[in-house]
Amino acid sequence: MNYELIFLAAGQGKRMNAEKNKMWLDLVGEPIFIHALRPFLADNRCSKVIVVCQETERKHVRKLMQQLDVAEDRVEVVKGGSERQYSVAAGLECCGLESVVLVHDGARPFVTLDIIDRLLLGVKQNKAAICAVQVKDTVKRVIHDVVKETVDRDNLWQVQTPQAFELHILQKAHCLAKKDQFLGTDEASLVERIPYPVAIVQGSYYNIKLTTPEDMPLAKAILGELGGKLND
């Protein structure tokens, strides 16, 4: 099953305390951007990559794609929005080559082909699928710094990206969100409002999102331990 990829790289890295977009921070000799994008470039099923980035970084992204020897007709670089959801919407405007679209956060550099395989099977069976892992820790609901209850974690999952959808479903979800002025935290939260059921497939505990400075040593440890070859 072929798909198009919306690759989100328009973040500003504020929580990373970086003076630049965290996509360009070095991670064992290469920018985070490259680590996150490489599995999709290596996947022949990925017919088109739509990189959504800051306006000031579009030339840099195009130059990097040339250095990676990516065919020009396989990549499109578009300007992102002020919110993640608006960046995805900008990417959606460039889709239509395939019936399936994947959305991935550029701050997740450890996605594997195994995860992509499971997502494509999930979207084939359910039309909407996201990868996630079950919560390990005890979870408390807290109000004003006081514990109110311990939440049953048996049905709690930590959601990751990529997320996969039939194109028309995600387009419909974004149209409804725009009409209702609803701002979600991920694509699945929009699809749930149509409403349409979203299936879960197994992600990976290695598939972390690099958000704060504390995440960088962990990321380097993951690459060092696994030699850059991630296996679930």
Instruction: Render the chain in DSSP notation, one character per residue.
Output: --EEEEEEE----TTTT-SS-GGGSEETTEEHHHHHHHHHHT-TTEEEEEEEE-GGGHHHHHHHHHHTT--GGGEEEEE--SSHHHHHHHHHTT--SSSEEEEEETT-TT--HHHHHHHHHHHHHHSEEEEEEE--S-EEEEETTEEEEEE-GGG-EEEEEEEEEEHHHHHHHHHHHHHHT---SSHHHHHTTTT---EEEE--TT-----STTHHHHHHHHHHHHTT----
pLDDT at 118 over 60: yes
106 residue type, one letter = G
| Mean pLDDT for the chain overall | 93
Residue 120's pLDDT band (cuts 50, 70, 90): very high
- 19 pLDDT exceeds 70? no
CA dihedral 22, 26, 30, 32 (to 10 degrees): -30
Q: What is the C-alpha to C-alpha distance for residues 122 and 128, in angstroms, rounded to an integer?
A: 7
pLDDT above 90 for 101: yes
For position 16, what pLDDT does the model report?
Answer: 76
Burial class of residue 107 in the structure, from the number of CB atoms within 10 Å of its CB (0-12 exposed, 13-18 middle, 19+ buried): buried
| Span 69-100, pLDDT tens digits | 999 899 999 999 999 999 999 999 999 999 99
Q: Is the pLDDT of residue 33 over 90?
A: yes
Segment 98-125 shows an average pLDDT of 97
- Give pLDDT tens digits for 128-142: 999 999 999 999 999
Amino acid 224: pLDDT? 77
Predicted TM-score of the model (pTM): 0.94
Answer yes or no: is pLDDT of 231 > 80.
no
pLDDT of residue 180: 98
Residue 82 φ/ψ region, left for φ over 0, alpha for ψ in the -120 to 50 degree band, beta for the rest: alpha
Whether the predicted pLDDT of 36 surpasses 90: yes
Highest average pLDDT, of 20-24, 128-132, 209-213, comes from 128-132
Check residue 20 and give its pLDDT: 74
Which of 193-210 are b and which e, b meaning 16 or more Cβ less than 10 Å from the residue's Cβ? ebebebbbbebbebbbbb
Q: What mean pLDDT do residues 49-76 have?
A: 94
Check if the beta carbon of residue 123 is closer than 8 Å to that of residue 28.
Answer: no
